[in-house]
Structure 1
Amino acid sequence: MDLHKELKHWFGYSEFRMGQKDIIESLLKGQDVLAMLPTGTGKSICYQLPGFLSNGLTIVVSPLLSLMQDQVQELKSNGLKQIAALNSMVSNEERQFVLNHLHDYRLLYLSPEMLQSEYVLSKLKQTKVSFFIVDEAHCISHWGKSFRTDYRKLAPVRRALANPPCLAITATATEVVRDDIREQLQLNNVQSYIYSVDRPTIALDIKETSSNSTKLKELNEYVRSLEGPGLIYFQTRKWAEAASSYLQQQGHANVSYYHGGMVHEDRLLIQQQFMKDQLDLICCTSAFGMGVNKSNIRYVIHFQPPLDLESFLQEIGRAGRDGENSLSLLLYSAEDRQMAKTMIKKDLLDKSQLIHILSALSTGGKLTYAEEKLIYLPVNCSDTAYSVLRYQLEMENYVIRDQWQSFDVQTVYPKIEKALTEYGQVLEQRLNKIWEWIESNSCKRQQILRYFDEIMQSRPDACCSYCGLDRLELTNSKVHNQQASSFEWVDHLNYVFLKGHQQ
């Protein structure tokens, strides 16, 4: 099989990017694969092409609804129709139609939670599954960022589907996380393709400020001078909205905000406007960006530091996918660290919360998800904290799906409390690592690579704030851009007709 010819046929590309061909060849040989490719280097091709080349169904486990919808829509807009997604946004009628016609599809995107449905699994078992893909595979590890408990239940699902070849793919995973992925997915004779997390065209700028109010004033100047499009990340929804309003008041018209608390239709509209260059700048939380394939984002600003280095790399990786110079600017002040600790604490349970929830669950019986929420929400337990607790109880076999077994709280509490304490320590360790990086007096790029068990092979000219850089020179100031040659209609037509073929 001529893979280059197939790549051209299905996607219109003439050449594979780094790692893609090796990963695809291993999958087609029936091997399990663990792959780590930097954000923006075309991870989706690694499973989409094998999916279209197989004579069965390729299951893609994806953590975000927006990620699924974007990939499905992009493929369909390029004329590839044998694709579907099953998630909470799909109507019951459409879901039933897809499940009744699985033989007509080549790629099926599902959330890990959807795969816990006995009915969905029973339907999938009736069709041939060629490949089992776990996208954003770092979610499987409690040592990694964005831990999702249902990701750790995927190995039994794969076994139930006759153990098809598995690809676990991510952009950021330390060696500890990669080992956990292999173990949790029970990958056999796994082929590993691990590439550097470094994005040498993204300069790393870090700037200390005295307060958040000072940050806002500086943010206004940065946005006024930097050429977009750009993203500004905030730790809270309230900050994203407030900063968007402030920038609009300062005369920046094409600015909006995006976060997970918005209704889906509003989020989709903002995303589409940004993709079509109707918006230049998005003030957002971490809910924005995963799967957003906009090639010309010139800068990513963090108004507050993320909670770990993995999140930081994921988010700055949205910049410069066209290979041009881009800027990552992280602002921080002394108050940010305490804010981060508060955010971590919000997703942990204290003794009274834990005993209250365990007592309510200990009587056993069948509980719906809505009924469980009535147990943990009144004691200010977050959805994340409860999902981690529920996972620990599942591992002890006190709950199977929605059926609870009765248990003695005094017996169960010490073991569960120990597991949750260890989980909290992991979160604190990751937070400490990113602050050590922020406050250190050495090359920022070199330190990130060391965190991911890498050695820096070469230093780019525009490396980081420690090594020295000029942020305006990196992205071109708006003044310089306005003096450049006028907008060419040929370039616009190329963008309109070719943007669907951006990996």
Structure 2
Amino acid sequence: MRLEAILQKKFGYLAFRPGQKEIIESVLAGRDTVAMLPTGTGKSLCYQLPGYMIEGQVIIISPLLSLMQDQAEQLMLNGEKKVIAFNSFLTRAEKKQALNQLNKYKFIFVSPEMLYFESVLSQLAKLSIALFVVDEAHCISQWGYDFRPDYLKLGEARKRIGNPLTLALTATATSEVKADIKKSLDIMDCSEIIYSVDRPNIALSVEKLDNFREKTDRLLELADSLEGPGIIYFSSKKMAEQTADLLRDKGAKRVMAYHGGMDQESRILVQQQYIHGQLDLICATSAFGMGINKDNIRYVIHFHMPLQIESYLQEIGRAGRDGNQSIAIMLYAPGDEQLPIQLAESELPDKAQIDWIEKWIKENPNAILNISQFEAQIKQLSGLTDVQWRIFNDFFERKSKSGLDYRRILQEMKGYYEGRIKFKRESIEEVYKWIHLKTCRREHILSHFNEKKSVSIHFCCDSCGLELKDFPKNTNSDNQEEPLYDWKSHLEFLLIPSE
């Protein structure tokens, strides 16, 4: 059967989007594949369709519960019952039941953290795995904008389950990141299918204000005037919440905050209400948006500077997935670059913390045998955050396996962190320069990925003459609320394992 016929029968589409067919053909030919498609261009189809054409299970490694939830849900809505999202949402009894019958599922979504439980890995090793999918594969690379230490172990996990055919998917990856992905997964001899990161239907604009108050006032104007739905990104959970409150005080009923500090039920509620049109605007941190299946987002505003061009591109890519004209606006005031620098530096343990840990290990030499057992003690006394601890623990354990003395490990750790901080500062500096560009903003972003602007775009960027008056205005004056979406029933449908 032709691929187009299967596409129409299983998914209801008449034609592939650019890049999808080439990736699917590569997978069906049995070639390990690294694929890069812009955000919102249908990467999930690239493993779902071939999954129906090859015998065995499809394992999908996904970094976020919301992303996993959304993709599993889409498969179920398309009529696929043999799918499970294996993550922390499942109760202990549900996990045990699912592990005992994994061979009954076709599509198995697994978080990287869950993958490293021996009980999970050993059960996966018993399956006939047709395809091993690493979604958001840029998380593997230390040079990627969303580096996750747990992703570094995926190559080892892949080996444990028999080195199955592998598809690594990402929306944004420089040449260094792509090299890291291939090396870490041990798929050096693979196909690379790389499409442009450009989204021509998203106009780019930067507005420079004099201070924080002016930025806030301008944000309120934009939220009131632009046709939604929209997303406003913040680097601060507190600012996301305060701005949502402020917007509601100004009369915007259909707006909520979303960030990683919220409990799971609250996050799911906000996410589902937004997807189903009960909210027009989300004030969010970067925790929101990855994998959200909402194609009519019309604008994305950044109140704070992103840390990298890659993360900026990923976040604005949540707009305009339906192909219609959308806009990305960044608000800047002098000194805004200080917050991303502080965030970058606070993500990693500093020299003083590492020196303290070295002193503590010297006094407790048996801790070297299993440093993770002392997590609570080390975090409490050194002041490591959860993120800092995960990065420290991963580095220490990986280096310990190579037989290095703990002093050498900690010395290497200092050098590694210095390199990471230098890289992050350079990335922030690049965003700063981009904000102050006088030339085409799109051309500069494309050059970051070794691309060139190949077509003329009418609504390109503010440097090319873009004006906000060209964009539709908000006409939803009554802001009537719709009946609440029954998200609990929806969640139960998603997470209870199917027979």
5 Å-filtered alignment, 1:276-291, equals 276-291=276-291
Aligned match of 1:389: 392
**Match for residue 477 of structure 1 among 457, 473, 477:** 473
Q: CA deviation at 1:366?
A: 6.5
Contact residue 389 and residue 420 of structure 1 kept, 8 A: no
Unmatched segments (≥5 aa) in structure 2: 478-499
Contact residue 399 and residue 409 of structure 2 kept, 8 A: no
Q: Deviations over 1:29-72 (max 9, x none)?
A: 11000100000000000011112222211110110011001111
Aligned match of 2:485: none
Quickly say closer, same or farther: Cα 1:124–1:360, change in 2 above 3 A.
farther
Distance, in Å, in 2 between the alignment partners of 1:246 and 1:370 is 44
Q: Percent identity over the alignment?
A: 43
Contact residue 203 and residue 462 of structure 1 kept, 8 A: yes
Contact residue 316 and residue 328 of structure 1 kept, 8 A: yes
- SS of the aligned residue for 2:95 comes to helix
> 1:234 corresponds to which letter in structure 2?
F
Contact residue 400 and residue 406 of structure 2 kept, 8 A: no
5 Å-filtered alignment, 1:98-497, equals 98-361=98-361, 362-364=365-367, 371-397=374-400, 407-409=405-407, 411-474=408-471, 476-479=472-475
Contact residue 229 and residue 299 of structure 1 kept, 8 A: yes
Distance, in Å, in 2 between the alignment partners of 1:397 and 1:323 is 50
- Structure 1 segments of 4 or more deviating over 6 A? none
Unmatched segments (≥5 aa) in structure 1: 400-404, 483-503
> 1:149 corresponds to which letter in structure 2?
P
5 Å-filtered alignment, 1:5-154, equals 5-154=5-154
Contact residue 348 and residue 391 of structure 2 kept, 8 A: no
> 2:383 corresponds to which letter in structure 1?
N
- SS of the aligned residue for 1:342 comes to helix
Distance, in Å, in 1 between the alignment partners of 2:210 and 2:54 is 57
> 2:267 corresponds to which letter in structure 1?
R
> 1:390 corresponds to which letter in structure 2?
N
Distance, in Å, in 2 between the alignment partners of 1:305 and 1:467 is 21
Deviates more, 1:289-298 or 1:389-398: 389-398
Quickly say closer, same or farther: Cα 1:369–1:213, change in 2 above 3 A.
farther
> 2:134 corresponds to which letter in structure 1?
V
> 1:453 corresponds to which letter in structure 2?
N
Distance, in Å, in 2 between the alignment partners of 1:18 and 1:373 is 49
TM-score, normalization: structure 1? 0.91
Distance, in Å, in 2 between the alignment partners of 1:368 and 1:9 is 53
- SS of the aligned residue for 2:235 comes to coil
Q: CA deviation at 1:441?
A: 1.6
Contact residue 363 and residue 407 of structure 1 kept, 8 A: no
Q: CA deviation at 1:159?
A: 1.5
Contact residue 56 and residue 106 of structure 2 kept, 8 A: yes
Deviates more, 1:228-237 or 1:377-386: 377-386
Quickly say closer, same or farther: Cα 1:396–1:368, change in 2 above 3 A.
closer
Q: Deviations over 1:347-374 (max 9, x none)?
A: 1222221122344455326659674133
Q: CA deviation at 1:468?
A: 1.1
Distance, in Å, in 1 between the alignment partners of 2:409 and 2:45 is 46
Distance, in Å, in 2 between the alignment partners of 1:5 and 1:72 is 23
Distance, in Å, in 1 between the alignment partners of 2:52 and 2:83 is 10
Aligned match of 1:493: none
Quickly say closer, same or farther: Cα 1:368–1:64, change in 2 above 3 A.
farther
Distance, in Å, in 1 between the alignment partners of 2:275 and 2:116 is 33
Distance, in Å, in 2 between the alignment partners of 1:431 and 1:11 is 41
> 2:180 corresponds to which letter in structure 1?
D
Distance, in Å, in 2 between the alignment partners of 1:451 and 1:230 is 27
RMSD: 1.9
- SS of the aligned residue for 1:364 comes to helix
Aligned residues: 475
- SS of the aligned residue for 2:337 comes to helix
Distance, in Å, in 2 between the alignment partners of 1:200 and 1:446 is 11
